[in-house]
Chains A and B, each alone.
Chain A
Amino acid sequence: MTELKPTGPKRKKKSDYQNVTGYLFISPFLLGFFLLTLYPILYSLYLSFTDYDLMSEPNWIGLDNYVRMFTGDETFWQSFKVTLMYAGVAVPFRLIFALLVALALNKVVEMAGLYRTLLYLPSVVGGSIAVSIMWRQLFGNDGAFNSILALLGIPTHSWLGDPKTAIWTLIVLYGWQFGSSMLIFLAGLRNIPKTYYEASSVDGASPIKQFFIITLPLLTPVILFNMIMQIIQGFMAFTPSFVVTNGGPVNSTLLYVLYMYRRAFEYFDMGYASAMAWFMLIIIAVLTGLIFKTSKHWVHYESDNK
């Protein structure tokens, strides 16, 4: 490291200046990172070993919250199962749906912009409470969905009232907002050089074969990224189950975060809710890690060839 010396005092001064300005520019992030992310996360870890109820001081109770979670709380397992099912079905459903629509739109020349705009619309408004409220009415007993079924002569059903079907209304709501994934796929499709298709056409490859040997492999980086972000989002969904079904019937739509919310802000069971948050973080980290690990085998980066 002594070799650095000959650069002289002038150089060193400049790099000091750069260090200071660099830190000055990112200082808002650093402040936020320490005060609003790092400290809260560590505090949450500490809380997960206590029985804090907001009123009295936190008591250290060791692993009690975790033991209670895994052995004494059926509702916890129920919410975990519901969330696994929700994320496990809704995420692939949305991604496949988005990819199919993007493929269809990619071939369209006329009015492509109009289709794209209209199909993206559900995603634009999707996060709003109004949409969840509308969904509740849409699938209600006398809502539009049943009314259409009746019109077609198909027996109606209490979609939100039946524990077997209620979760599906939330999954459909999630899939319905496929717009941003669709846009990302469209951008990915546009980036695939046309010459690849032309070359394989000369070799006599069918469109289906072309999809599997050209399109899909070249889209895998986009799919990977989408998948990870969507899984995190899927696990952390709250508003749909809170507004559309309020977790019912018989906890069949009790998403994890809704149960965590109830523990924290209805029962003021802050320690237990923190333990739940940590368990979820670990599950997500493991899942993300696994996806990244296996991605070596199925994600194709263009730069690999160069």
Chain B
Amino acid sequence: MQNKKRTFKIVQHTLLIVFTLIMIYPLVWMVSSSLKESSSVFVNAYSLIPDELHFENYITGWEGFAGITFKTFFINSAIIAVVATVGSIISSTIIAYGFARIKFRGKSIWFICMMLTMMLPFEMVMIPQYIMFNKFGWIDTYLPLILPTFFGIPFFIFLIMQFIRTIPVELDEAAKIDGCSTFGIFFRVIVPLVVPAMMTSAIFSFYWRWDDFMGPLIYLSTPEKYPVSLALKLFSDPNSVTNWGAMFAMSTLSIIPIFIIFFFFQRYIVDGISTSGLKG
């Protein structure tokens, strides 16, 4: 019986390991291709081991194109992602508190509106928003990419709301007895306690903004203003690429910020996903 159990375990782990390796193979392949010599990337393409480590791919790739280095693109991405994330988290937390804790007339109607907005694909408002922002003269600026986040992101509002609901109302009441106003309760009691939910939202927000491609594609036209996603697409266009190693190098670099955040904060992401169970 004991032996049978052990055999089962070995089989189980072998299968899981093989499966996991197949799943992460493409990512490892990308990283290893970034270290191969350009001309050898597609010779025995399956191979994960570069004959020599060609770190110079990273240097040539970094030079970018049209005289703009990837430093510019990374800074642009960082500005967009950070400002949009800060905006969306501050506004979403404020809104979530209103929905979770304050009783006011018409609340349920607005809550339904928010849930419907959450289900509504961005593509539905993409064209009219473009026309609006075009009229405001915001094309080729970061405003269309950043400003809308300051009105709260329904997914984050919902996530933070669910979290606030787990905080005992007695805490609010105790603070009220001590003479705290509604705003005081929000800032002194709720905000410090919902930090984990805010973190989860911030991580998602950063991912989405960093990866966002369609927004910049529609709104930006000056290469100096491109974020990494858009720059990478241009850099890798099939008819313009000759230096494959450099292309893979910049692809790898572009996902490093996401990796770093993932490895440092994965507890928040896993908790956030499994408790809210929404986006994917």
* Residues of chain B lying within 8 A (CB to CB) of residue A146: 45
A79 → chain B closest CB, angstroms? 13
Query: CB-defined interface of A165-195 with B at 8 Å, one 1/0 digit per residue?
Result: 0000000000010011101101110000000
Which of B49-57, B61-69, B192-200, B254-262 lies at the interface with chain A?
Answer: B254-262
Interface check B137, CB cutoff 8 A: no
Query: CB-defined interface of B46-89 with A at 8 Å, one 1/0 digit per residue?
Result: 11000000000000000000000000000000000000000000
Q: Which residue of B lies closest to A105 (CB)?
A: B16
B127 → chain A closest CB, angstroms? 5
Q: Quick check: A124 and B274 within 8 Å, CB to CB?
A: no
A278 → chain B closest CB, angstroms? 8
Q: Bound state CA distance, A123 and B16, in angstroms? A: 18
Chain B residues bordering chain A, tally (CB within 8 A): 91
- In chain B, positions 223-280 with a C-beta closer than 8 Å to chain A are 228-230, 232-233, 236, 238, 244, 247-248, 251-252, 254-255, 258-259, 262, 266, 269-270, 273-275, 277-280
Q: Which residue of B lies closest to A121 (CB)?
A: B24
Interface check B191, CB cutoff 8 A: no
Q: Quick check: B277 and A187 within 8 Å, CB to CB?
A: yes
* Residues of chain A lying within 8 A (CB to CB) of residue B244: 137
Q: Quick check: B207 and A127 within 8 Å, CB to CB?
A: yes
What is the size category of the interface that chain A forms with chain B?
35 or more
Instruction: Return the contact of B123 from the options A33, A138, A183, A260 (Cβ within 8 A).
Output: A260
Q: Quick check: B123 and A130 within 8 Å, CB to CB?
A: no
Q: Which residue of A lies closest to B93 (CB)?
A: A25
Interface check A238, CB cutoff 8 A: yes
Instruction: Return the contact of B229 from the options A37, A105, A129 (Cβ within 8 A).
Output: A129
- In chain B, positions 15-48 with a C-beta closer than 8 Å to chain A are 15-16, 19-20, 23-24, 26-27, 29-30, 33, 42, 44-47
Contact A29/B157 with A129-B213, A183-B274, A274-B127 known, Cβ cut-off 8 Å: yes
Instruction: Return the contact of B233 from the options A101, A129, A186, A187 (Cβ within 8 A).
Output: A129
- In chain B, positions 133-178 with a C-beta closer than 8 Å to chain A are 134, 148, 150-152, 154, 157
Q: Quick check: A147 and B127 within 8 Å, CB to CB?
A: no
* Residues of chain B lying within 8 A (CB to CB) of residue A39: 128
Q: Quick check: A25 and B210 within 8 Å, CB to CB?
A: no
Q: Quick check: B45 and A125 within 8 Å, CB to CB?
A: no
* Residues of chain B lying within 8 A (CB to CB) of residue A107: 12
* Residues of chain B lying within 8 A (CB to CB) of residue A225: 277-278
A140 → chain B closest CB, angstroms? 8
Instruction: Return the contact of A130 from the options B97, B107, B252 (Cβ within 8 A).
Output: B252
Q: Bound state CA distance, A115 and B19, in angstroms? A: 10
Q: Quick check: A36 and B23 within 8 Å, CB to CB?
A: no
Query: CB-defined interface of A254-288 with B at 8 Å, one 1/0 digit per residue?
Result: 00010011001100001001100100110010001
Instruction: Return the contact of A184 from the options B46, B121, B233, B280 (Cβ within 8 A).
Output: B280
* Residues of chain A lying within 8 A (CB to CB) of residue B113: 33
Q: Quick check: A265 and B121 within 8 Å, CB to CB?
A: no
* Residues of chain A lying within 8 A (CB to CB) of residue B47: 147
- Most B-side CB within 10 Å, residue of A24, A32, A35, A41: A32
Name 19 interchain pairs, CB-CB below 8 A, sorted by A.
Answer: A21-B104, A25-B186, A28-B94, A29-B91, A39-B128, A44-B127, A104-B16, A121-B23, A127-B207, A128-B255, A133-B233, A142-B42, A142-B45, A144-B45, A180-B273, A225-B277, A225-B278, A238-B214, A277-B123
B contact set with A: CB distance below 8 Å: 12-13, 15-16, 19-20, 23-24, 26-27, 29-30, 33, 42, 44-47, 91, 94-95, 97-99, 102-105, 107, 110, 113-114, 117, 119-132, 134, 148, 150-152, 154, 157, 182-183, 186, 207-208, 210-211, 213-214, 218, 228-230, 232-233, 236, 238, 244, 247-248, 251-252, 254-255, 258-259, 262, 266, 269-270, 273-275, 277-280
